[in-house]
């Protein structure tokens, strides 16, 4: 099947900041439904969070009110196939705080 010149978005998932426990919690428990070349985490909460891609190791930090966007196309120029794998579960860790939520979505080339 060939790749079309269009983008397909993942379904938006989220976790309320008042549900944060100080331990890693999945923001997308079912994982990515397809391999994605762009991931975006929007921290619309009043607390900072750490991000893990394995549920064990902190790999990124998103401050309160900040957005983290990872565009693999910018890391792997000329579209050399770098992607976040299908099924990847993304975890957040923080402490319960002010109202708000942390959101995750991803984008891939539509097939």
Token pair 């890391």 is at which residue? 75
User: Using an 8 Å Cβ cutoff, are 54 and 60 in contact?
Assistant: no
Q: What pLDDT, on the 0 to 100 scale, is given for residue 31?
A: 96
Q: What pLDDT, on the 0 to 100 scale, is given for residue 110?
A: 65
Six token digits for residue 96: 């319960």
Q: What pLDDT, on the 0 to 100 scale, is given for residue 4?
A: 61
CATH class entry, domain 15-109: mainly beta
Q: What pLDDT, on the 0 to 100 scale, is given for residue 81?
A: 64
DSSP state letters, 11-44: PPEEEEGGG-BSS-EESSTT--SS-BSEEEEEE-
Q: What pLDDT, on the 0 to 100 scale, is given for residue 2?
A: 47
Q: What pLDDT, on the 0 to 100 scale, is given for residue 98?
A: 78
Distance CA 82, CA 109 (A): 12
- pTM exceeds cut of 0.75: yes
Encode 45-78: b = buried (16+ Cβ within 10 Å), e = exposed.
Answer: bebebebbbeeeeeeeebebeeebebebeeeeee
Give me the tens of pLDDT residue by residue for the chain, a chain 111 residues long: 445 677 889 999 999 999 999 999 999 999 999 999 899 999 999 999 999 999 999 999 999 999 999 988 766 666 566 788 999 999 999 998 778 999 999 998 766
Q: What pLDDT, on the 0 to 100 scale, is given for residue 108?
A: 87
45 secondary structure, DSSP code: S
């Amino acid at each position: 099947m060939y790749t079309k010149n269009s983008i397909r978005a993942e379904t938006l998932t989220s976790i309320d900041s008042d549900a944060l426990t100080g331990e890693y919690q999945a923001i997308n428990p079912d994982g990515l439904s397809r391999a994605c070349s762009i991931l975006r985490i929007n921290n619309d909460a009043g607390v900072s969070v750490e991000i893990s891609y394995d549920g064990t190791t902190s790999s990124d930090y998103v401050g309160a009110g900040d957005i983290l966007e990872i565009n693999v196309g910018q890391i792997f120029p000329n579209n050399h196939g770098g992607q976040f794998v299908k099924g990847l579960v993304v975890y957040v860790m923080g402490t319960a705080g002010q109202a708000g939520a942390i959101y995750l979505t991803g984008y891939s080339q539509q097939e």
